[in-house]
Amino acid sequence: MLPAVTLVAQWREIESRLPEDWADARLLLTVEDEAKAPRASALLGPAMPGRRGREIRFYCATHGAGLAPGAILRLLERLDEESITGNLELLATGEPTVTPETARPTLLGSWDAAVAALPPDWSDVYAELELASSDYLERAAVLVSPLNPSRYGGLPGFRFRVSRTFGYGTSPEMSRRSFERFDEDGIGGTIRILYALSDTHPVATQGPVFRLEGRAV
């Protein structure tokens, strides 16, 4: 019997067939032994995978949201070291796109522009609201409260999560309504999407976990 092809070798083969200007890749790992699937998903944790049975989906990107190719390689090396075998396949790949300008006269416009730049099947977002002035912070804290926001860094603003289908995060509809209230109060700013995931399938969890500088957000 021929030895199983390592996951690292499969990834290198997939990567070699990607176009030179590829931007992101959606991957599916089908673990041979379902009993090892939970461990495989745990080892792939930094890639924020979604698991269903033996199938584990995760995402790689050359820039922006998603782990870089080298990081994916190192995670797969760990699976190989633990003798976790399976079939790795490419589900889809994308080319670089011009990121639309999301600075708009209103926060609602900024939010709509940011969402329009996401893929159609987006499911989870970690975003940042930067206010035009620190003078708005006190009132903004009240208006943004439905989004369960957090302060981060020195910028005058907040970070928050949005969940489109299920799991932890405010719904897109509630988020949009919150930004309408900002506009009604004349509070300006910009919204940026820092991380985004598509088509996640969490099992026995509240959804994916975003990690920033070593901590969950």
Average pLDDT, the chain: 82
Does the pLDDT of residue 150 top 80, yes or no?
Answer: yes
Angle at alpha carbon of residue 10, lines to 120 and 90, rounded to 5°: 15
Q: Which CATH class is domain 107-198?
A: alpha beta
pTM: 0.51
More confident call, 177 vs 65? 177
Three state DSSP letters for the chain: CCCCCCHHHHHHHHHHHCCCCCCEEEEEEEECCHHHHHHHHHHCHHHCCEEECCEEEEEEECCCCCECHHHHHHHHHHHHHCCCCEEEEEEEEECCCCCCCCCCCCHHHHHHHHHHCCCCCEEEEEEEEEECCHHHHHHHHHHCHHHCCECCCCCCEEEEEEECCCCCCECHHHHHHHHHHHHHCCCCEEEEEEEEEECCCCCCCCCCCCEECCEEC
pLDDT given for residue 104 in this prediction: 47
Q: Is the dihedral of CA 127, 212, 155, 136 positive or negative?
A: positive
More confident call, 62 vs 32? 32
pLDDT given for residue 2 in this prediction: 43
pLDDT given for residue 57 in this prediction: 87
pLDDT given for residue 63 in this prediction: 67
Q: Which amino acid is at 205?
A: T
* CATH architecture of the domain covering 7-96: 2-Layer Sandwich (3.30)
Each residue's pLDDT tens digit, 161-209:
998 877 678 899 999 999 999 989 988 888 888 888 776 666 555 566 6
pLDDT given for residue 203 in this prediction: 58
Domain with CATH 3.30.70 in the chain: 7-96, 107-198
More confident call, 98 vs 14? 14
Rounded to whole angstroms, the Cα distance separating 173 from 145 reads 15
pLDDT given for residue 58 in this prediction: 85
pLDDT given for residue 211 in this prediction: 59
Each residue's pLDDT tens digit, 18-40:
888 788 888 999 999 999 999 99
CB atoms within 10 A of CB 114: 21
Each residue's pLDDT tens digit, 85-132:
999 999 887 654 444 444 446 888 888 888 888 888 888 888 889 888
